[in-house]
Structure 1
Amino acid sequence: MKKLNETEINTILQDLQGWHFIDNGLETSFEFPNFKDAFSAITRIAFEAERLQHHPDWSNSYNTLTIRLTTHDADGVTEKDVEFAKLIDELVA
């Protein structure tokens, strides 16, 4: 899959609220009312990650989930990351 250039990524980010292009990846954080809601979101995302065979780098601290998407084979952001970011936004909404 083709690595997107910075201009393409910045254009895409206009439609991805809360996502940022940092160190060759897409990153965001979500804050939930409590740990249970954060963990529920993680579980929903994990099932989709496995289905897509595209796994995020993430961390969870109590009610906050931080996610980083990058395609390691392409050494950067690809359309696969963009589509997964959109799906994550739907799952968390």
Structure 2
Amino acid sequence: MATEPLSPQEIETRLRDVPGWSLTDRRLTRTYRLGSHFAATAMVVHVARIQDELNHHSDLTLGYDSVTVAVHTHDAGGAVTVKDFALAGRVEEIAPAHGAN
């Protein structure tokens, strides 16, 4: 069973719970800045583990000292769903341990 897309109003409301995240090109997106390339790489590995636990995967972009997470739900036609916000929430939980802001 496919996950239902969220309405623009639902997305706007849920974005208040994940500061720093935005809707960009039909994806829930955030870029984190970290203290070093190693810290950014460690965060990517941690996010990958969370994605496997949730069975919901984003596009991760590793920069020198940054990590960008961009996610939408494929089985909802590329729309944003509750799955995307669940992933964003989990990433927000672990980001401080990596020194991300």
Q: Please classify the TM superposition score into its range, dividing by the shorter chain length.
A: over 0.9
* Residue 64 of structure 1 pairs with residue 51 of structure 2: no
Report matched runs for 1:19-58 at 5 Å.
19-58=21-60
TM-score, normalised via structure 1 length? 0.95
Residue from 11, 14, 17 that aligns with 1:12: 14
- The 2-side partners of 1:41 and 1:60 are apart by 9
Q: Structure 1 regions of 5+ residues with no counterpart?
A: none
- The 2-side partners of 1:60 and 1:43 are apart by 10
Q: Structure 2 regions of 5+ residues with no counterpart?
A: 97-101
Structure 1 segments (4+ residues) deviating >3 Å: none
Aligned 8 A contact 2:44 2:60 in 1: no
Displacement of 1:81 in angstroms is 0.5
- The 1-side partners of 2:56 and 2:5 are apart by 15
Q: CA RMSD in A?
A: 0.8
Q: How many residues align?
A: 93
* Residue 90 of structure 1 pairs with residue 76 of structure 2: no
Percent identical = 30
**What amino acid is the match of 1:19?**
W
**What amino acid is the match of 2:82?**
E
What SS does the corresponding residue of 2:89 show, helix, strand or coil? helix
Cα deviation digits, residues 16-75 of structure 1 (max 9, x gap): 100001121100000000011101111111111111111111211111111101001102
